[in-house]
């Protein structure tokens, strides 16, 4: 019960004006998932099917686009099993009409991103746990990087829900979604993700700065920020250390490091009541 203190809202950073024409959801998606990504999926699906069955899958760009559309829509209209969308009693036309279920099954079985024959062995120093997904992940990152960053950023970890079989799957007791793939991300105040790294143990970050995995992740994710603008980056106590702050001050002379004591945050007990 006290008067609201005056908050300094001044900003000396120079950012571009908002775009004149607002992108449609499809246009925005295609900036992230470009034509070359779709073509890569087409080529690798046909190659993988040929390697496994000695016959091409004979898919094309149009069919892969339909496949992505079906999976996106299934994430909105959820059912217990994907086969229910085609079942006679529960048929869902927006998904069932564009593609027969058997064809969807076949695409699902042979969906591939990279050539398995070029994958290095585990004993190789250049072995990459994300080899099968690497071209897709890197292209998505490139799509994220073309978005002009805003003023406020946060580096944190998140869990991508996943219950399948993968060495990348982790169980994190403290997270709302406990089973999944651990991802470190840099996001803006608008909740847009600008950059990310999938945690894969040793080799998650190639450049060892001597700050430990947490410090290396922060350095890696903020290095994509242009140095001529004044950005404010937030991290929690898991990532923050004196050595990290020193490294950031040396590398990013316009980066403003915010002391948590300067932030008017609600107490944990109050936040739990709102959850």
Instruction: Flag whether 157 is in a domain.
Output: yes
Instruction: Flag whether 6 is in a domain.
Output: no
DSSP 195-230: EEEE--STTSSSS--SSHHHHHHHHHHHTTS-TTS-
Whether 60 and 158 share a structural domain: no
Looking at residue 120, the DSSP 8-state letter turns out to be P
**Which range is most confident: 88-97, 148-157, 158-167, 201-210?**
88-97
User: Residue 188: which domain range?
Assistant: 149-274
Instruction: Flag whether 262 is in a domain.
Output: yes
pLDDT band, very low/low/confident/very high, at 253 (cuts 50, 70, 90): very low
Of 140, 247, 211, 205, the closest CA to residue 233 belongs to 247
Contacts of 243 (CB under 8 A, 6+ apart): 210, 211, 215
What pLDDT was estimated at residue 166? 80
Whether 112 and 155 share a structural domain: no
Whether 222 and 174 share a structural domain: yes
Cα angle 179-176-258, degrees, rounded to a multiple of 5: 115
Whether 65 and 107 share a structural domain: yes
Whether 90 and 162 share a structural domain: no
The dihedrals phi and psi of 72, each to the nearest 5 degrees, come to -65, -45
What pLDDT was estimated at residue 54? 94
Whether 82 and 159 share a structural domain: no
Whether 166 and 262 share a structural domain: yes
Instruction: Flag whether 114 is in a domain.
Output: yes
Instruction: Flag whether 48 is in a domain.
Output: yes
Residue 113 in this model has a pLDDT that exceeds 60: yes
Of 171, 200, 166, 165, the closest CA to residue 184 belongs to 200
| Number of structural domains the chain divides into | 2
Instruction: Flag whether 14 is in a domain.
Output: no
Of 134, 131, 135, the closest CA to residue 120 belongs to 131
What pLDDT was estimated at residue 98? 93
CATH number, domain with residue 174: 3.30.420
HSE at residue 253, side-chain half, CA atoms within 13 A, is 1
Cα angle 79-83-88, degrees, rounded to a multiple of 5: 95
Whether 158 and 270 share a structural domain: yes
What pLDDT was estimated at residue 267? 75
Instruction: Flag whether 213 is in a domain.
Output: yes
Whether 206 and 108 share a structural domain: no
- What is the token pair recorded at 54? 């000695």
Contacts of 74 (CB under 8 A, 6+ apart): 82, 85, 95
CA-to-CA distance for 111 and 223, rounded, in angstroms? Answer: 33
Residue 22 in this model has a pLDDT that exceeds 70: yes
Looking at residue 116, the DSSP 8-state letter turns out to be G
Whether 224 and 153 share a structural domain: yes
Provide, rounded to the nearest whole percent, the portion of the chain with pLDDT above 90.
28
């Amino acid at each position: 019960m006290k008067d609201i203190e005056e908050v300094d809202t001044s900003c000396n950073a120079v950012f571009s004006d908002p775009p004149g024409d607002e992108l449609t959801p499809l246009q925005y998606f295609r900036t992230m998932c470009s034509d070359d990504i779709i073509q890569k999926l087409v080529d690798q699906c046909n190659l993988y099917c040929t390697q496994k069955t000695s016959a091409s899958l004979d898919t094309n760009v149009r069919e892969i686009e339909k496949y992505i559309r079906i999976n996106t829509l299934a994430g909105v209209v959820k059912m217990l099993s994907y086969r229910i969308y085609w079942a006679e009693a529960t048929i869902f036309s927006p998904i069932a009409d564009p593609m027969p279920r058997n064809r969807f099954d076949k695409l699902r079985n042979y969906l591939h991103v990279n050539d398995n024959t070029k994958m290095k062995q585990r004993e190789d120093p250049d072995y990459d746990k994300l080899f099968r997904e690497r071209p897709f992940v890197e292209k998505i990152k490139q799509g994220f990087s073309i978005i002009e960053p805003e003023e406020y950023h946060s580096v944190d970890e998140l869990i991508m829900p996943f219950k399948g079989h993968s060495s990348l799957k982790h169980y994190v007791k403290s997270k709302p979604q406990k089973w999944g793939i651990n991802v470190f991300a840099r996001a803006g105040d608008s909740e847009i993700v600008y950059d990310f790294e999938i945690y894969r143990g040793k080799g998650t970050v190639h450049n060892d700065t001597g700050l430990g995995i947490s410090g290396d992740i922060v350095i890696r994710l903020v290095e994509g920020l242009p140095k001529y603008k004044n950005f404010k980056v937030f991290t929690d106590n898991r990532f923050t250390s004196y050595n990290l702050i020193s490294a950031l001050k040396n590398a990013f002379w316009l980066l403003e490091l915010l002391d948590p004591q300067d932030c008017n945050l609600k107490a944990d007990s109050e936040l739990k009541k709102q959850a």
